Amino acid sequence: MNAGCFTDTALQARFDEVMRSHVATDVTVVIAAKQEALSLPGVIDRVRPFASTVIVAVGRSTDGTADVAASNGAIVLHDNGLGKGDALRCAIPKVQTPVTVFLDADGSHDPEDIPLLVAPILADEADHVTASRLRGGSSELHGGFDEFFRLAGSSFITACINWRWGCRLSDSQNGFRAVRTSVLKNLDLRENTTTIEQEMIMKTLRGGWRMAEVPSHEHPRRHGQSHISVARSAPRYVYSLVRYLFF
């Protein structure tokens, strides 16, 4: 069993200790943001206590996302217009701290959970820790047909990953995660879209590095529109799953 999965009970027992021992100077937070000017200030504000550096990788936006990021003290990068994966890949070479945390700009993730994601890495128990919506709950992953197909697809992909590497992850698609930066820079990430989330996990496991996950709640996006189309992105999910599982 590769994946160390912390249960709710274990996590609650560790909560105070983890908060006390968190070292913000060890952490850079990378936020991919496209058309997120309304949500971004609140997200950066909540991230600040937990990170020494905040990098916002901005996609083509007409709402002033880049200006908002800069005026809130973030380092601003511009992606190549290819998608979220492209944005994260632009930011990775700039990270200089031992741990990199990825988090969305739409207010879906709780920055207050950053210490829980980082602690297993600093304790040398894991190299890549994802936040699980299946363990922490989600306010936007169920209810309609779109959500049904996303959840079913995500669960299928997670099951394939668990089968291939003999682990027991529950969520392979959440964008909220922490990775040891030295490992991250060795993953040779290639995906340009949100398929980068599953690529990161599969390449971590292929490389023999340690995965873990902790529960974290996913909230509905605060403002604006989703950038994901299930029908349009499905073929790429299948292709990248087969590619990184077997080749």
Ligand X SMILES: Nc1nc2c(ncn2[C@@H]2O[C@H](COP(=O)(O)OP(=O)(O)OP(=O)(O)O)[C@@H](O)[C@H]2O)c(=O)[nH]1
Could you list the residues that contact ligand X (CB under 6 A)? 32-34, 36, 57-59, 79, 83-84, 87, 104-106, 108, 140, 175, 194, 221, 226-228
Q: Which does 113 bind (CB under 5 to 8 A by kind): ligand X, Mg ion, none?
A: none
CB of 141 to ligand X, least distance (A): 8
- DSSP line for 102-154: EEESSS-S-GGGHHHHHHHHHTTS-SEEEEEHHHH-BSSSSSSHHHHHHHHHH
Q: Which residues contact 148 (CB under 8 A, 6 or more apart)?
A: 142
Residue 118 has, within 13 A of its CA and on its CB side, a CA count of: 28
Task: For ligand X, give the closer residue by CB, 92 or 122.
Answer: 92
Q: Which does 68 bind (CB under 5 to 8 A by kind): ligand X, Mg ion, none?
A: none
Q: Specify the stretch interacting with Mg ion by CB under 5 A; choose among 33-41, 48-56, 88-96, 221-229.
A: 221-229
Task: For ligand X, give the closer residue by CB, 34 or 135.
Answer: 34
Q: Is 127 in the site for Mg ion (CB under 5 A)?
A: no
CB of 139 to ligand X, least distance (A): 10
Binding Mg ion (rule: CB under 5 A), the pick from 53, 65, 100, 108 is: 108
Helices (H), the chain: 8-21, 40-47, 65-71, 84-91, 114-122, 133-136, 145-165, 181-184, 196-206, 230-246
Q: Please give the distance of CA 129 from its chain centroid, rounded to a whole number.
A: 9
Q: Is 106 in the site for Mg ion (CB under 5 A)?
A: yes
Q: Which residues contact 151 (CB under 8 A, 6 or more apart)?
A: 141, 142
Say how many residues touch Mg ion, by CB under 5 A: 4
The Cα–Cα gap between 59 and 53 comes to: 19
72 in Cβ contact with 40 (< 8 Å)? yes
Task: For Mg ion, give the closer residue by CB, 83 or 120.
Answer: 83
CB of 57 to ligand X, least distance (A): 5
Task: For ligand X, give the closer residue by CB, 156 or 164.
Answer: 156
Q: Is 72 in the site for Mg ion (CB under 5 A)?
A: no
Task: For ligand X, give the closer residue by CB, 127 or 191.
Answer: 191
